Amino acid sequence: MRKQKYYTPEQRIDHVKSCSHWRSKGKTFISYCHAHDVAISTMEYWMKKYGEQAYDSEHSFVKVHDDRPAPHVPYHSCSLTVNVGAVAIELPAGNSNEDLRRVLLTLKEII
């Protein structure tokens, strides 16, 4: 099969969605590219360029409510991003173990 030379933006977004779905089933990014005859570097570019557009219409946000004041963290910590398929949750630096637990429980409920 010969590689297609030009893809419309809609086709590119469809590939980004399909690749993410492919990966959510435990398959690899590279295997998607080989199976669909898309260059790996091209797909990487599309993921960066069209990733936001591909999921804007599909994402819904779940607000995690916390009425407690933020605890003082006496040490430096780093931020955390949890990615599960097309869902990404970002926590800024300084979150407690309880904050992480609530976020992961919420994530478990929506997946």
Per-residue pLDDT of the chain (111 residues; tens, 9 = 90+): 566 778 898 888 888 888 888 888 888 888 999 999 999 899 888 888 887 666 554 544 555 666 666 665 555 556 777 777 776 777 777 777 777 778 777 777 766
Global pTM reads 0.46
- Domain spans, the chain: 9-56, 61-111
pLDDT score recorded for residue 66: 63
- DSSP letters along 94-109, please? T--HHHHHHHHHHHHH
Confirm if 51 and 59 have CB atoms less than 8 A apart: no
